[in-house]
Amino acid sequence: MNFRLVGIVWCLALVSCIPKEVPPQVERGVLSAESYLKDQTKTIELVGEWGYYPGLLISPLELSSVETIREPHFFKVPGIWSESFFHRGFLAGDGYATFSLEIQHGQKGIPLSLKVPEMETAYNLFVDGVRLASNGVVATSYQTGKPEYRPRIIDFIPKENQTSIILQISNYHHRKGGPAQVITIGNTSEIHHQYESAILRDMLLVGSILFMGIYHLFLFWNRKKDPFTYWFALTCLLVALRVFITGNKYLIQIFPNLPWEIHLKLSYLSFFLITPIFTRYVYLLFKPYYSRLAYELLKYIGFAFCFIVLVTRSSFYTYLMIPFQVFTLIGVIYTFFVIIRAIRDSFPGSIYFLISFTIFITSFINDILVNNLVIYGPLTIHFGIFTMFFVQSVYIARNFSKGFVEAENLAIELSDKNQTLQKVQNQLTDLNERLETRVRDKTEELQGKLDQIGKDMRLAKSIIQSVTKLPELDPHIKVDILYKPIAEVGGDIYFIKRIQDFYYRFFLADATGHGLQAALYTMMIQSEFERVSAVAMRPNDLLFYMNQHFYDKNADLQIYFPALVMDFDFHQGILRYAGGGVQNQIHMKKNGTTSMFENTGPIIGILEHYRYGIFETKVESGDRVFLFTDGLFEELNESDGVKAWGDLLEVIQNTASLPFEEVIPSIKTMLFQRMDKSYWKDDSTLILIETT
């Protein structure tokens, strides 16, 4: 219903702009309007062929003598004398001239008025030889000329049935030069009535659009989840500002001393800013269909035009109007395609937007053609603007109303659900009371079991400590151990066995799990280690026997673990090493150089009958061996194990000059500094061995 009413108002507005009777026009400098102006309610626009004297500023007293020596040219008003930009560049509109007109009105002694808009960009107006109006300073050079825009209504009482008008115009500050606007003559009361009607129309338009903008700003303030209301509000405020600046120049009437250059910049900026800001509104409204790239182009190019207006003079940026209008029309065409796609997919509100947008763009194109003197007719942008923004306001308000209705329905539904939930809550309360009794009984039962588990864990810890107790190692080696399980019983297992007075065996493994599981695995591994250690003469033999045992006997349990064995034979001064699925271990010579003990086979329990390799090397007094599990260093770089191991090697190398007792504390401190923490999140073991 609202849109039907808007359509009726729009049609009536267009019909009201169509003249019922074709008024006479100026022919060869003379306007015969006696019969037309007999009706006191009629006004006539002074359009047609005015007398034209380019390059001359002629006073009323000089006109008759000039006409005797020079045949006048004739100039179609409204029009501009600007030449092609390609011929004179930014001086295309510069110049000065005199225009003359003889009006035969038959209104001797009856008050008449002239409605004079701005001229480009300074003028003097003489009526029957008397200068009645002027804007700026008319001059023959840029240095002495001064532009000004100030629409006027000039009242006069003709002493004869005809009136002569002389109009002197100069321009050095705008791309257009000449009488680009239309002067209107008519009965004084009718001219003032039309002017007051125009003021009323503009104020109603400004007030309506300004109110829409403020209203939608408050909508955005209270609901920031819909940002398109903010950009719609900004567009409304810009359009209201532009109506206030242009047309009857209300801004100049309020601030009469406002410089012409600032006034013109505001006029251009209020127009140039509308495109990127309104584009943002349309982009948010039709985001699923509007290309992000197209939006960015329209936004940044539009702001680029505004920047040029800010930093250049009017003689330059006034040439941007036509390129900007073309740029805007390209954006309009793309927007039409977007809306059509949205309509095809039945996007909410797309049809209403298309109707209002079409009306707005039609009026916009009409005014472009009128302002560029391509066609002659009424300016309809005011009606287009009001229609566009009124429809959009109704659409947004309708959406918010739907939201409120849905919220009310949801509130009623929520109330019903709350009542149901209250009943369920009462039932749950009864259940909870019965459950509390059962939970209390189960808690007591669970606490008893936890106490028993605690005792078992302490016993398991005691057993692990007993089997990992260091034997007598003097006088051949010194050992220092860093052992940090994350539970009371960890997965890391180490055994040190003195086989003979000159032969020592070190075993280190990383079993799965923690707590009781780790304790059970430890017992199984320790039992097997003790069994095969008596018959295994070399480290690789021990790994072979353990691997076969866990592969055969514990296949169902799936016990797999990395392990290493290192034997010190001080009778021969030899170190023997075998590793199954472990990382490289470190051997540091007395002089500080390091070498690696590399892995010699897979993890224990994975492959049947696997023969592990062995590595042998000489050891001397002062050599240090570092045996460790991966939990010690993997947190240095969890995404790159090679880099983490390299960082550990660097830390160990930094301890080359430290006494034996300070090595492990120093390594621990440096690792924590690099990890930026004070504990490990996995079991960590480091065995430091130094030969004496």
482-496 residue pLDDT tens: 988 877 777 788 989
- Residue 1's pLDDT band (cuts 50, 70, 90): very low
Do 383 and 531 reside in the same domain of the chain? no
543-560 residue pLDDT tens: 999 998 888 876 666 778
- Residue 40's pLDDT band (cuts 50, 70, 90): confident
Alpha carbons 462 and 366: distance in angstroms, whole number:
97
Domain boundary residue among 385, 404, 423? 404
Least confident of 123-132, 228-237, 273-282, 408-417: 408-417
Average pLDDT over residues 370-395: 67
Do 355 and 493 reside in the same domain of the chain? no
Statement: residue 119 has pLDDT above 70: yes
Statement: residue 86 has pLDDT above 60: yes
Residue in 253, 305, 257 with CA at minimum distance from that of residue 279? 305
Statement: residue 11 has pLDDT above 80: no
Do 174 and 214 reside in the same domain of the chain? no
Statement: residue 115 has pLDDT above 90: yes
Alpha carbons 494 and 219: distance in angstroms, whole number:
72
Return the pLDDT at 464.
67
Average pLDDT over residues 348-376: 74
Return the pLDDT at 199.
86
Return the pLDDT at 373.
58
Domain boundary residue among 138, 169, 193? 193
* CA-CA-CA-CA dihedral for 435, 438, 439, 444, to nearest 10: 170
Residue in 85, 509, 524 with CA at minimum distance from that of residue 319? 85
Return the pLDDT at 98.
95
92-104 residue pLDDT tens: 889 999 999 999 9
- Of residues 248 and 46, the one with the higher pLDDT is 46
User: Percent of the chain having pLDDT more than 90?
Assistant: 38
Q: Is residue 509 part of a domain?
A: yes
What CATH number has the domain bearing residue 511?
A: 3.60.40.10
Statement: residue 231 has pLDDT above 50: yes
Do 618 and 520 reside in the same domain of the chain? yes
Return the pLDDT at 15.
45
CA angle 268, 273, 278 (to 5 degrees): 140
Statement: residue 153 has pLDDT above 90: yes
- Residue 162's pLDDT band (cuts 50, 70, 90): very high
Alpha carbons 544 and 528: distance in angstroms, whole number:
12
Q: Is residue 628 part of a domain?
A: yes
- Of residues 615 and 424, the one with the higher pLDDT is 615
Least confident of 44-58, 187-201, 506-520, 572-586: 506-520
321-349 residue pLDDT tens: 889 988 988 988 898 899 889 888 888 87
Statement: residue 449 has pLDDT above 90: no
Statement: residue 465 has pLDDT above 60: yes
> Which residue's structure tokens are 């209390």?
440
Q: Is residue 29 part of a domain?
A: yes
Statement: residue 90 has pLDDT above 80: no
Do 170 and 39 reside in the same domain of the chain? yes
Antiparallel, parallel or unpaired: β 95-104 and 122-127:
unpaired
- Residue 2's pLDDT band (cuts 50, 70, 90): very low
Peptide bond into 78 cis (omega under 30): yes
pTM equals 0.55
Do 224 and 137 reside in the same domain of the chain? no
Q: Is residue 458 part of a domain?
A: no
DSSP H or E segment with residue 142: none
Alpha carbons 479 and 125: distance in angstroms, whole number:
113
Statement: residue 303 has pLDDT above 90: yes
Main-chain phi, psi angles of 31, to 5 degrees: -120, 115
208-218 residue pLDDT tens: 778 888 877 88
Statement: residue 54 has pLDDT above 50: yes
Residue in 664, 671, 566, 549 with CA at minimum distance from that of residue 610? 549
- Residue 468's pLDDT band (cuts 50, 70, 90): low
Domain boundary residue among 378, 404, 430? 404
Least confident of 70-74, 212-216, 272-276, 630-634: 212-216
Statement: residue 57 has pLDDT above 80: yes
Q: How many CB atoms lie within 10 A of CB 515?
A: 19
Do 79 and 171 reside in the same domain of the chain? yes
Average pLDDT over residues 408-428: 80
Q: How many CB atoms lie within 10 A of CB 531?
A: 13
Q: Is residue 334 part of a domain?
A: yes
Do 629 and 685 reside in the same domain of the chain? yes
Residue in 615, 612, 582, 594 with CA at minimum distance from that of residue 685? 582
Do 515 and 657 reside in the same domain of the chain? yes
DSSP 339-401: HHHHHHTT-TTHHHHHHHHHHHHHHHHHHHHHHTTSS-----HHHHHHHHHHHHHHHHHHHHH
Do 380 and 503 reside in the same domain of the chain? no
Q: Are 687 and 649 in contact (CB under 8 A)?
A: no
- Of residues 71 and 623, the one with the higher pLDDT is 623
Do 136 and 168 reside in the same domain of the chain? yes
Least confident of 21-35, 144-158, 435-449, 639-653: 435-449
Average pLDDT over residues 26-52: 92
Q: Is residue 409 part of a domain?
A: no
Residue 634 is given by DSSP the state G
Alpha carbons 413 and 182: distance in angstroms, whole number:
65
Alpha carbons 684 and 665: distance in angstroms, whole number:
14
Least confident of 271-280, 507-516, 609-618: 507-516
Per DSSP, the three-state class of 224 is coil
Alpha carbons 517 and 8: distance in angstroms, whole number:
87
- Residue 116's pLDDT band (cuts 50, 70, 90): very high
Return the pLDDT at 582.
93
Token output for 634? 């993997």
Q: Is residue 332 part of a domain?
A: yes
What CATH number has the domain bearing residue 100?
A: 2.60.120.260
Least confident of 1-5, 197-201, 329-333, 439-443: 1-5
Q: CA-CA distances (angstroms) from residue 268 to 265, 272, 544?
A: 5, 6, 90
Do 350 and 482 reside in the same domain of the chain? no
* Residue 65 lies in domain: 24-193
Residue 629 amino acid letter: T
Statement: residue 561 has pLDDT above 60: yes
Q: CA-CA distances (angstroms) from residue 229 to 236, 242, 342, 358, 431?
A: 10, 20, 19, 21, 51
**Total tally of structural domains belonging to the chain:** 3
Average pLDDT over residues 66-87: 84
519-529 residue pLDDT tens: 777 778 888 88
Return the pLDDT at 406.
67
For all residues of the chain together, what is the average pLDDT?
85
Return the pLDDT at 12.
47
Least confident of 6-15, 328-337, 410-419: 6-15
Q: Is residue 419 part of a domain?
A: no
